[in-house]
Structure 1
């Protein structure tokens, strides 16, 4: 009888990917999760397979690393080492015979693109065969994997979902912004693997890097550095200058696929430009593609503490103008990601969510990256825990010392312990609501923590100097959330706390600002004298007209620093109140004609927008959605008070919860408008 002769091998891509929950991920290879068996079918000619006469040995290769796995007749798949077990052997008297072999990877196998080979050893011959490649990902469904997440709902949200909401703006006027993570888009998984391959760690020592890729702590640290382009061939170049020539304004991105593809198509040149939400959203895409549960988090009033003393100093002139003094700053909002993993390197109690920040702010071990900083370490003030816990701790807990100065002399100081980290939030799993997670980060800070965080922290700083006067109090209140095109109305309320009348001077000052730093020049101010009686409260209304604040650069949400200084003419004591707020862009409305949306069936959505401005506006409308359709772009002009109704045909390519989103970039006034609609696509 003829000798055993291999005919073909089927890696059963469709069936294996459904079982491994990698169906939908687009790759040039089979995509698998570690710690889980996959089946290959071997067709052969000749006599029936006899394990006593033939040895089948799989060789699994990752760069310079390889392991040989003989096929055994008996046994079970292993979670700690590679194994191959013969499942079925069906000789077919009329044609080729077939073997089914179950291959398993350990739950701690390295993430990467593997090559699968097989050697057939008979009494007379040894033949080797190249079977193809497979991409191995982390496995949050496997209890032995260090990224295991217990709840199916949470795995669906933080690994499989490709739609997101990012929360921006300011605490009093939070804006939810749609983002398409796009991990299922063509080629995105392969590009995500490229980030690992192009990292300085991989280039410096290939074998060591591939071994370290078994650990999500290591992987996440590499990705945190590779999403920004500061030290390496990373994806995004940051730009906070308001001059985005030569690239795309960060406000105009609405999904990760365009950014990652552009990076790959330009031989890995940095994509211009990103800001914090773009860095965080792209990192979320890559981490979910690699199988590591990840969510985007916003910290409102986020401190960037450059000198590590946990005090942010802000300086104002006596006229209420915020001054660009000092390197510390408070970002109106800052976004990072959290990824879910075990932390055996920190000891017990620090598993779970870990902060990772790819926005280039400070170096961590000589590279611009941050984390993974265990959220539980931040909460418990364990500031000696690696990585970068002190930096994140200060971002959510620093005190704010406000100083009024004249000619370099301090006139008055006050300290606010509650402003920084006022709210930390993320998208609620399974819905489009916001989830407040502040209590996961914040507890009261004790003195020993302050000293541990900074050896040069000056004891009692922020409590010294002349405190705010006791005789007066002042507050600012917006009468409604500001919207682009409308006037901004606000009240200044002054209370005289003592039983004598006072003559006061009032200085109100409004400045444009970027979300990540101190404001630029004053665009509106008001000054005047106020007489106030004993124990009296006076309210003064002000209005800033649209033409006063109209921007010169397109932005989604322009930010304003509004401050008032009230001066007691007799005592020369001063008290300050300030408010930072965003002017929200009008939103686009999206309606879907048929609420019952079926895969591969054409549907119609209508985007509507009423021009609130007294002038005609023109711009470009973009409508897109991961798994729904190709991007549609249309240039249009809308007359004053006219309502635009734009029908868009789309054909959903994937079942599940999807988001249809639209953006309208206007030239005059320069602003970016957004709208979104979630659609539950049914399988046919």
Structure 2
């Protein structure tokens, strides 16, 4: 029985495998005991997901009946070739269904930063909470029978989960917050896993947990889908377009001196995180089988509800925008064009079109390895197949963005010397080319602003202005740097928007180059004395060390957690550490689950808006 739906079937004394389309039950004749029977129940591959009740009736020789009842939970089965979520490779089933830890990728396309995450699907109570998520959804409350019947379809299940991860239309799991005011809840950056979020939601009688942002929504959905047996992976789209007017164009505005302006509702997030789930699309045809985009972040209404997908990745690449679900929205996120404009007194002085920036890198965690896998080519036709992770540049020194403008008499290129690291100067160079055969006198304006990954930049924190002279056809390179003391108190975990505007003093013609980048922090180091001897229910010791890379003293709180390794989080107050100083913290834990486990450490500073993380994969033996 599933709710009030039921099926009655005889128990046979042979394992009949002739048909997998019906419910079957059998027992071994030699082992049959009517007082304590062992019965094997075999559901069809198309059976609905849920918590079932069963009743077993045995007719005894004396004319009486013996009745046994119980419960079992039925999930999707990616190992079954007839199941709509069947994924054919064992290493992918291990990664996308069984693995309870992973990496989320953030930062920028040219400098992706990995963030460890614990999916926690084996933690106590998580399975029950994920099943209850289906029970408290509006579709179940509206029509229980219809909901139960449709739970045999992963397309339907995934849409229900996508809507229920956010709380905008229902009693969903998470409340989004993209402000900097998290007083009524938790800063999204402090979450380290899905278990705490799902448990808090269940224990509060399904009141939304505060707060989440895109990577939190996606990671929690990944947990729920894996629990339900649907292969799932977390995907990051770098330079993700948020096209509010559906014209596939993102407009950006800059002042005459290179300051980025907030003049439009359109935006480009430095990164946006969603999930992909693996399933057959029997509603669309076998050519659309495979990975499907689902986005639980509440930014798009699909049939009136804040959810997105499942949109076949193959349909996005082939531009089949007439198919369901939400393909045009996802297509714009990875393919919109960018128009960067220099404006003055309401007048547009210059427009530059960039067709490669949006969706410049789409990646997920590689199967079996703690590194990103570039899947950009699965979404769009990339022009070149560089061996590097990013599809736009092969090395950090080759990075350049807005610049090339053949209609202008001058060109400008803005290039970072290397990926910026906390505690070191940001070094970059500006290359100016005079394409005319006459000398030019140019004004040069350099501007740096801090920005959150999903917002327009804040006020300028660094700028330089000057005048240079170029001979006919001359190329001039100017080297610049921004020192740590100039950016540490401003940037923190935020990005930097760096722009240069050239102005031809003879005709007031202008050209623009810009780059948005993140500043990487050194990770916490985690060492285990003898990694080959970690055993279940046996005390182990880890040493966590940190070297202060900043130009000022730091202090903070170290938090250590690990699903299957420790029952609860451990917190340690770290002493004030001088620049360049080193501190170590010994942590004792007792593993309670075998297999590959992730030990996480997070150091949150009290005087700097930065969080440093580290993780260690530990193999626990029985």
TM-score (norm 1): 0.84
Asked which structure has the greater CA Rg, the reply is 1
Q: Give the corresponding residue for 1:103.
A: 41
User: How far 1:612 moved relative to its partner?
Assistant: 2.4
Q: Give the corresponding residue for 1:609.
A: 546
Unaligned runs of 5+ in 2: 384-403
Q: Is 1:670 matched up with 2:606?
A: no
The structure 1 residue matched to 2:476, chosen from 522, 535, 538, is 538
Q: Give the corresponding residue for 1:398.
A: 336
Q: Give the corresponding residue for 1:204.
A: 142
User: C-alpha separation between the residues in 1 aligned to 2:546 and 2:412?
Assistant: 39
Does the 8 A contact of 1:90 with 1:97 survive in 2?
no
User: How far 1:127 moved relative to its partner?
Assistant: 4.5
Q: Give the corresponding residue for 1:274.
A: 212
What secondary structure is seen at the aligned counterpart in 2 of 1:345? coil
What secondary structure is seen at the aligned counterpart in 2 of 1:100? coil
Does the 8 A contact of 1:62 with 1:115 survive in 2?
yes
User: How far 1:130 moved relative to its partner?
Assistant: 5.1
**1:292-441, aligned counterparts within 5 Å?**
292-441=230-379
Q: Is 1:73 matched up with 2:10?
A: no
The structure 2 residue matched to 1:680, chosen from 595, 619, 622, is 619
Does the 8 A contact of 1:506 with 1:528 survive in 2?
yes
Q: Is 1:573 matched up with 2:509?
A: yes
User: C-alpha separation between the residues in 1 aligned to 2:450 and 2:583?
Assistant: 30
User: C-alpha separation between the residues in 2 aligned to 1:562 and 1:404?
Assistant: 14
User: How far 1:243 moved relative to its partner?
Assistant: 1.5
Q: Give the corresponding residue for 2:390.
A: none
What secondary structure is seen at the aligned counterpart in 1 of 2:512? strand
User: C-alpha separation between the residues in 1 aligned to 2:405 and 2:317?
Assistant: 30
What secondary structure is seen at the aligned counterpart in 1 of 2:555? strand
Q: Give the corresponding residue for 2:581.
A: 642
Farther-moved stretch of structure 1 (386-395 vs 538-547): 538-547
User: C-alpha separation between the residues in 2 aligned to 1:639 and 1:581?
Assistant: 27
User: How far 1:126 moved relative to its partner?
Assistant: 6.1
Q: Is 1:87 matched up with 2:28?
A: yes
Q: 1:407 to 1:656 in 2, by over 3 A?
A: same
Q: Give the corresponding residue for 1:43.
A: none
User: C-alpha separation between the residues in 2 aligned to 1:364 and 1:139?
Assistant: 28
Does the 8 A contact of 1:167 with 1:176 survive in 2?
yes
User: C-alpha separation between the residues in 2 aligned to 1:485 and 1:203?
Assistant: 54
Does the 8 A contact of 1:168 with 1:174 survive in 2?
yes
User: C-alpha separation between the residues in 2 aligned to 1:74 and 1:478?
Assistant: 71
The structure 2 residue matched to 1:192, chosen from 130, 135, 157, is 130
Q: Is 1:262 matched up with 2:187?
A: no
User: How far 1:308 moved relative to its partner?
Assistant: 1.2
User: How far 1:544 moved relative to its partner?
Assistant: 2.2
Farther-moved stretch of structure 1 (64-73 vs 380-389): 64-73
Q: Is 1:506 matched up with 2:444?
A: yes
The structure 1 residue matched to 2:165, chosen from 211, 227, 239, is 227
Q: Give the corresponding residue for 2:223.
A: 285
Deviation per CA, 1:408-453, whole angstroms, max 9, x where unpaired? Answer: 11111111111111111111101112111111110279xxxxxxxx
User: How far 1:661 moved relative to its partner?
Assistant: 1.1
